[in-house]
Every structure is written in C-alpha cells, then in structure tokens.
Structure 1
Amino acid sequence: MPSRRRTLLKVIILGDSGVGKTSLMNQYVNKKFSNQYKATIGADFLTKEVEFEDRLFTLQIWDTAGQERFQSLGVAFYRGADCCVLVYDVNVQKSFDNLNNWREEFLIQASPSDPENFPFIVLGNKVDVDGGNSRVVSEKKARAWCASKGDIPYFETSAKEGINVEEAFQVIAKNALKNGEEEEIYLPDTIDVGSTSQQRASGCDC
C-alpha cells in the first residue's frame, strides 16, 4: 500500500463556559451528544481525518476552557492554530457580547503572521432550545457583527440536534487548509512505536 500524504490542521474552539464547545466537537467527531454538562479543565483535543480532492487531512480540534482562571494557559494552545472557531449561545446575550474579547485574546496570544486575514468562524449554538423561543441574539445581529469583522463565516448550530455542525466544520476545515502551512507526514507501511512516533501521534509539542 503506498504511503499517503497527510496534513495536520490545528483548530481552536473559543467561547464562554457553557456555550457548547465540547458538545459541538463531540457531535462532529463522534456523532454523540450528552445532556450531562462537565466543564473542560484546561484544554482537550480530538482528531478527525477528512479528505479533500483525494488528499487526507487530520483536523486537530482543541476545546479550551471558558473559565477565566484557565485563560493563562492560552499561549501554548493557541500557537500554531490554522483556524479559530468562536462560539456563543444564542440564548445568552453575554456570551455574544464576549465574542470580541475572545477574538482579541486569540490574536494577542497566537500572534498569527497575518492577523487581518486569519480565518475565524462564528457559531451561534443552541438554536434548538425551547423551540427557538428563548433566543435573545438575532441572526441579523450576529451576521452584522461578523460582517464588521471582515465577513467572518457564520452558522447557527445545535450540537444536540446536529444542526449545521457538519456543514460548519467543512468550512472550518477548508479555511484552516487555506491558512495552514502544510506539514507533510508520510505514513509508512509499518509504524515505529518508538517514543518519537508516540510524541508525533499525541499532537503535542509541549
């Protein structure tokens, strides 16, 4: 079997605690949803392989804690990101108001080479709650904010119902690919299970 080129793309998900960052990631990668809320401690990541034009890409999706006490961990996790996903809860005004803070924080911590054109994507999550009757942030308002920040792509999602999750992550992957510096990894027929391979597989350079 010939070796295949694989490119690693790093995606960071940011937003207030409780907006559904972990649920969105789990719905996309594992097609699962849990009603049990458990705050992320520090950061965690999942990987998913996607294929574009007969090429294999590994999305490394980092889910970071929304609590302020963990924000000091940001630098290590943000660095090297190819795309940043900003998530808010359409039923919580404060989570929308804080999008700008998360965006600015990311640009400061990650220091991308071209901050003006770095790919962000905004997800307005939990559109399923109460049949949409309890939402306080309109789609029009969210799209206006995205337009003011350089036409950031916007999706309204439900991690619980799986609404627009797959579609949003397809755009996330494509935008990360456009931005990402390709790191080509050749997959041999046999895999060396030595320490070097294990470090590479962990995706962590810390």
Structure 2
Amino acid sequence: MVLALPCPGVGSVPFHLGQGKLLGALFLPVLLQLSVLLLQLPRALLLFFHPGSASQTKTPRAALATWMTDVCFLVTVTLEESVPWTLPETTVSPEQIALGPPPRPAAMSGKSLLLKVILLGDGGVGKSSLMNRYVTNKFDSQAFHTIGVEFLNRDLEVDGRFVTLQIWDTAGQERFKSLRTPFYRGADCCLLTFSVDDRQSFENLSNWQKEFVYYADVKDPEHFPFVVLGNKIDKLERQVSTEEARAWCMENGNYPYLETSAKDDTNVTVAFEEAVRQVLAVEEQLEHCMLGHTIDLHSSSKSGSSCC
C-alpha cells in the first residue's frame, strides 16, 4: 500500500509500508535536536547534585526540569504536529492518497481558499497564546515555550470569501532555528510579533523579517504581505510606544500594525482577519496584472489584414 506523507520542505512523499529509510529521514531533525539536548544533560545533572557549582544561573531542580521539559515537548510536538499521521477516510482509495491533496483553488474562484500564516518573533512574546486564543478561545498563563513548530486550522469568512486559515506557531529560541525554518516555505502571510513590554523583541523584528524572506525564498519581498503585531498591551509598563512601532512599519514596507492582547482577547480576531485581507489584496493585484497583459487575438488579426 502506498501512502502520501507530508514531508517538511518537500511536500507529499510516497511511502511504501515497510520502508524504514524514509522514516529515518523524516525524524532526522528530531534526532539532531535530541543529540544537542543529550549534550546538555551532564551539566543539568551536575547542577542538580552539586548545587554549589560555579557560574550557576538556575536552581538545580529548575535546570534539570528545563532539560526534561525540552526533551518531552520536542518529541511530543514534533510527532503530533510536524509530521501529521492522520489518514483520510476509508472511502478514499490508496491511489487517491498517493496523488496527494487537490490543487489549491484560485484566489477569485469563489471556493474556499487555504492560506498558510506564519507567526514569527522572539520567544515569550505570546505567539502561541495568540494562536490558541483565536482558534480555541482559550488562554493559558502557564503555557510552555513552543518546541519546534505547532499549527492549528480555523475556517472563517472575510469580505464574502470563505477561507481555511492554517496558522503555524514557531519557536522563538535560536536553538530551534533548524526545526522552524523548513516550514517557512509556502507561507502566504507572516505575522511579525513582539511584546510591547520587551524592547529587545521589538528591535529583533528586522532579523525575523530577513530570516523569513531568506528561508521562505520570497521572490518579491517588497510586496509580500507582512503584518506586525504588538502583543501584551494588557501589561501596565510599556517599553515600545505605538508611534514608534508604526514608524518602524512605515519605514520597512508600510505594513499594517495592530496592538493585541491574547489575555484580554483584544484585536486577536481583527489581526488574523487583517492577515487574510492582505493576502487577498496581493492575489487580486496579481490577477489584475495578468488580465491587463492578455493579448486580444481578434484585434491583432484585424490589424494584420489591414497591412496586407
């Protein structure tokens, strides 16, 4: 039997049951990250059994707990989200599965449109909370940092268009760069996110923008739909003003800027709907340009006959 399994950065890969080599390729990123975590185990154990060690930055129990949490969440999230194993309904034949999903509908066809949106930003700015608030309408103040990538889907209607929004939440830590960057390809919009109470997260927006453009292989960065989100406006002490954030957006591409709060559910729905509008606007402009460059064969034939 042949199945089509989604492979990051490659697309659907035909999988014959019994081929262990392909499974090894799919889990190679996981094994690489686990090897890094295993190298950190001796230091975590040292801090745990010898609390008086020099240059200790965490409590012994916190150091060991952090290491164990990284391992568990890396395996769990990668298996459940990065490589989905959900098979189609039994009414679908193996031949249809091997052919992969149907082609993506055109922007103006009137059918439901699948859009891939990437949330980028420093760790701890609230990307996961924004995604969960929008899709599940829940907020968890004790949520762990994302390990690798996660994604959720939501169907919505924007300006009369039915859209399936596929939201990808990425890890903000540098050590997970090799796990997140393969998922940038194929994105229709990027939500650059920072926290208004963390100035460093705001200053790193340019780095996130450049990283996305490079690894997503964006052909026309000047017209790619970016949306900037200033999250955690529920915090009392701000380090980044609204005016400063809007000025950055104007200087770097005239991007839409929205201030959000996943905790209070402020502008969360508006932010994702704005992302959809930006994508639809870009695709409508492209379609208009294509229609403007069509050739009228009837007019050309008449002009040719007059010359004879």
Check the 8 A contact 2:181/2:215 in 1, yes or no.
yes
The amino acid that maps onto 2:239 is V
Q: How does 1:26-105 map to 2 (within 5 A)?
A: 26-105=132-211
Determine the structure 2 residue equivalent to 1:135: 238
Shift of 1:51: 1.6
Structure 1 SS opposite 2:191: strand
State whether residues 12 and 62 of structure 1, in contact with CA within 8 Å, keep that contact through their aligned partners in structure 2. yes
**Relative CO higher for 1 or 2, CA cutoff 8 Å, sep ≥ 6?**
1
Alignment of 1:172-183 (within 5 A): 172-179=275-282
* 1:195 matched residue in structure 2: none
User: What is the aligned-residue identity percentage?
Assistant: 55
Residue 146, structure 1, aligned to residue 245, structure 2: no
Structure 1 unpaired stretches of 5+: 182-206
Aligned length: 175
Aligned to 1:200: none
Q: 8 Å contact 2:158–2:276 — kept in the other structure?
A: no
Match of 1:156 in 2: 259
Give the AA of the match of 1:72. S
Deviation at 1:162, TM superposition (A): 0.5
Distance 1:140 1:52, change over 3 A: closer
| TM-score normalised to structure 1 length | 0.81
Larger radius of gyration: 2
Q: Judging by fraction of residues, say which structure has more helix.
A: 2
Cα distance, 1:60 vs structure 2:
0.3
Give me the whole-angstrom Cα distance separating, in 1, the residues matched to 2:218 and 2:204: 21
1:78–1:106 CA contact under 8 A, matched in 2: yes
Which has the larger strand fraction? 1
- The change in CA–CA distance for 1:180 and 1:36 in structure 2 (over 3 A counts) is farther
Q: CA RMSD in A?
A: 1.6
The one of 119, 124, 131 equivalent to 1:13 is 119
| TM-score using structure 2 length | 0.55
Please list every run of 5 or more consecutive structure 2 residues that lacks an aligned counterpart in the other structure.
1-109, 285-308
Equivalent pair of 1:82/1:179 in contact (CA under 8 Å): no
* C-alpha contact (below 8 Å) 2:196/2:240 kept by paired residues: yes
Task: Give the Cα–Cα distance (whole angstroms) in 2 for the partners of residues 96 and 52 of structure 1.
Answer: 29
